[in-house]
C-alpha cells in the first residue's frame, strides 16, 4: 500500500495573517507544504497571478488544483472536503 503525499504550494507574503492561518491549518492536518514568498520574489508573484488570476495572498494549490485563499481552504475544512483532498 502506498501513501500518496499531497503536493501543496502556498503562495504567501510577509506579515500576512491569512497566510499564517492557512499554514497553521495545513500544519494541524499533519501535512507539509512548499511556501513561496511572493514579497521577496517578483517572478513568483507574476507566476502566481498568471496561474490564479488573483493578486492576493495566500493562494493555495493542492496537487496542482487551485484551492484559492484561506477562506476557501477553511470552507473545505468545515465541509469535510479538505481531508479528502489531502489523502489522495
Question: Where in the chain are the domains?
Answer: 8-86
Q: Which CATH architecture has domain 8-86?
A: 3-Layer(aba) Sandwich (3.40)
Asked whether residue 88 carries a pLDDT value surpassing 90, the answer given is no
pLDDT tens for 1-38 read 345 789 999 999 999 999 999 999 999 999 999 999 99
Asked whether residue 73 carries a pLDDT value surpassing 70, the answer given is yes
Q: Under DSSP, is residue 6 helix (H, G, I), strand (E, B) or coil?
A: coil
Nearest CA-CA partner of 74 in 23, 38, 5, 34:
23
- Does the model's pTM come out above 0.75? yes
Amino acid at each position: 500500500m502506498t501513501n500518496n503525499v499531497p503536493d501543496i504550494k502556498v503562495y504567501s507574503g510577509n506579515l500576512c495573517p491569512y497566510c499564517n492561518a492557512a499554514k497553521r491549518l495545513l500544519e494541524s492536518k499533519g501535512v507539509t507544504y512548499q511556501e513561496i514568498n511572493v514579497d521577496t520574489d517578483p517572478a513568483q508573484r507574476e507566476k502566481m497571478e498568471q496561474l490564479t488570476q488573483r493578486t492576493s495572498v495566500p493562494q493555495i494549490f493542492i496537487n496542482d488544483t487551485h484551492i484559492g485563499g484561506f477562506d476557501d481552504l477553511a470552507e473545505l475544512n468545515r465541509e469535510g472536503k479538505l481531508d479528502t483532498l489531502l489523502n489522495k
